Amino acid sequence: MSHRFVWVDIPVHDLDRAIAFYAAVLGTPVTREGGPGFSFGLLAHSGSDVAGCLYLADDGNAPSPRGPLVYLNVDGRIADAERAVAARGGRVLQATQPIGPHGYRAIVVDSEGNRVALHSPKP
């Protein structure tokens, strides 16, 4: 396996609100999935792409503005994604800035209180 990160769970308080937030910010569908007694929002991916989901927080984990910083690919839509953050109940902590040869990032707080980075190879 070539990826060091294979999956990410993003804890949320309101699954529907978080699904709407991430679908708008990422510009891709986030699908509600699950089984008996559980549901989650699956972030779009394919093949061996690193993937993740939104899940309802419990006693073992909760949304947080501190801790590991997850970078989410917004693939050339960073300005649109940053605008979608505020429109969907999040806030921008650091506006889009260049990160050398690695592209651009913005650091935001999502609709649930998690700090995440938005990344794009181009502005």
Q: Where are the beta strands (DSSP E) in the chain?
A: 7-12, 30-35, 38-43, 51-56, 70-73, 91-98, 104-109, 115-120
Q: How is the chain split into domains, by residue range?
A: 7-120
State what percent of residues in the chain have pLDDT above 70: 98
How confident is the model over 67-121, as pLDDT tens digits? 889 999 999 999 999 999 999 999 999 999 999 999 999 999 999 999 999 999 9
* CATH number 3.10.180.10 given to 7-120: yes
CB 57 within 8 A of CB 9: no
Residue 30, strand partner residues: 43
Residue type at 109?
V
